[in-house]
Structure 1
Amino acid sequence: MANTILIVDDNRDNLTVIGGLLKSEYHVRVANSGERALQVAVTAPIPDLILLDIMMPGMDGYETLRHLRAMPETRNIPVIFVTAMSADEDEEAGLRLGAVDYITKPIRPAILNARVRTHLALKRAHDQLADQNTRLESQVRQRTRELELIKEVTMQALATLAEKRDNETGNHLIRTRSYIEVLMHGLSTLPEFAGQLDPLTQELIAKAAPLHDIGKVGIPDAILLKPGRLTPEEFLVMKTHAQIGADALTEAIERVLRGQEDNEHEQDNRYALSFLEIAREIAGGHHEKWDGSGYPRGLSGNAIPLSARLMALADVFDALVCKRHYKEAFPIEKSIEIIRQGRGQHFDPRIVDVFLANIDACIAIAERHADHPPEATA
């Protein structure tokens, strides 16, 4: 298909002469004013090149070019000024505005055809490069989505493995993550938390939350699945799951740090490192308590990572409202009261306040993702 050339000139003879020189090779369109050129330039077929006169009544060539460069549909169309103005400052002014070339009148056919062919070839090359970049960007985005999906599925599989060993359902992971998302949204509106809960950090915390009990894979079944109350000795073993999980994630972090030597993937490694750091905080710190009476390190107050403080409340609330193999579910009202009583002792008081302010959303999550016993088979 022939390229389309738009010729803009207020002189009919000039339109006839230039059009006659080009029409054998190109599809030629004409406009006799700057105003008309702006209309023609955005109607099909869109021109591949514009030959633009400068001295025109009303909107001159300079002003027309300014408008062409301002419109998304026309900003990348090459424009060649064709004019009797031959002073260096006139040419500089046109090129400064974005013209790609400058042809003086009277027109020399060989020069006109050579310049038109050159700039059409440059535009084809530019368009091909732009198309190639667009395809590459699309492929990169697709590959990135695939890698993110693989990572998400892998992390979910690891988390589910830990929960299955504890005789839990995957809904516990969904609920606790959802509670945390509600809490983060509320906290991020408070000045003291806004800087700590930017959108990327919220995403990382939400994705890492299901790994909070990954350390349970290291707890013997006799203790992990015991239906009754644990003995003091058994409870000491159970408590080690937090450190087991933190240690496993520490090893993963060390592997990522070693991978930082590969500069090609340094950005991906930084993201993975941030994710694993938060996962380690959650796994190792979600049983710490605000007053320092928790485990494994006895941290207190803001020394407990924010991600772990969020997980502490979400995990306890879910344990209260849901049936476990060692207990029945508590009524919602009693569960809320236990959380309220833990304000400033077990839990960060500000997180409790946000939880209470969003209790309806948390109850809705618990109901929407409630555990249902498997149906009996005949």
Structure 2
Amino acid sequence: MSALPGDAGSPPLRRKLRLGVLAAALTTVLTLLCCVGGAAAFFLTELGGEKKDGMTEAGLACTVGQQVKITGDMPRFAEYGEGQLRNAAVIIKVGQDMKVPARGWVIAIATAMQESALRNLANSTVPASLALPHEGVGSDYDSLGLFQQRPGWGSVQQRMTPTYTARKFYEKMLKVPNWERRPLTVVAQRVQVSAYPSAYRKHEELASRIVDALAGGAARTVEIAGRAVCDAAAGARIAASGWTAPIPGGVGSGFRTADRPSHNGVDIAARKRTEIHAAATGRVLVARCDPDHSGRRDCDRDGWPGKGGCGWFVDILHAGGFITRYCHMIERPHVVPGQLVEAGQVIGLSGTSGNSSGPHLHFEVHVNGDRSSNGAINPVPFMRERGAPLDGTP
């Protein structure tokens, strides 16, 4: 059993105060108002594990329009060698030449990670007389190259040419309706028609980091009016990383401050009934009313400081073992446990149920599939590193 700290709201005025001095003053007020009281008993038995927080306070700078380099030294990743990263760079370069948005690069690289581990694979049917350069022999009888494309995709020589296979992948991907907003697994499967469609999901987080490392933080960009913009994913806008801010506004009450060291998330001011968006594609773990200190589940009314509980809330499990939590909804969530939700999908409406002194969203991020306080990390740098800052400004 673990404890989920009660937390409280911030006045709607917070959304209107943009100047630094006023914002700082309001933050001080919010610290006094928000999350007053102790902790609500909260059973977290579905997932567990120890905290392994590898996130950094400062993310990679986002440079719009930086061209990927396919020669010279490659960045280092424990999971992949220099040759594999060079193949990833080729995939990005083809996408850049075709003017495919960076979200497409992430999808393509994650797909190649699953299909070939970013290696240009031959197979046992390739005639020795062709003497094609390759980086291993795959297990599929007639599939070749980075994307393990079958004969219908082109000749043997073509499918063993990384630039050709990447271009063919993008050409088919661009025909998938609304591909930039759909889950990576859905888009990859529409292109590949794999026997294991859910397998692509696990590569999304690392694929985003590879794109960032090779292309100047490009996974943090979002397309706005046909132009790539850094750190502006919110609402209907999804960053190339696949993440978006759950609600507009700014952070008023921070993560584990000196005054509230057990505050495992941040509070974002919002008027009642503001739409709350899933921060990324994932599967709903929990969608229910959190009991207050007395054990009652009465979330269909405004809460108050010291009441205890998270009110109506949702937990979502995302690729990479990340979990996001959304508290104090005004009514029963719009999703149910086990449901697959897309990034940006509305999962509920903001309110002030539970341990709260005013309307707001309490937002948490957990790592390693650990929903307890041990898994909680600061959502502010985490979301900024994914191009979806919680302060509502690029």
How would you bin the TM-score normalised by the shorter chain? Answer: under 0.3
> Which structure is higher in RCO with an 8 Å CA cutoff and minimum separation 6?
2
In the superposition, the TM-score normalised over structure 2's length comes to 0.20
Greater share of helix: 1
Question: Which of the pair is proportionally richer in strand?
Answer: 2
TM-score normalised by structure 1 residue count? 0.21
Greater Rg by CA: 1
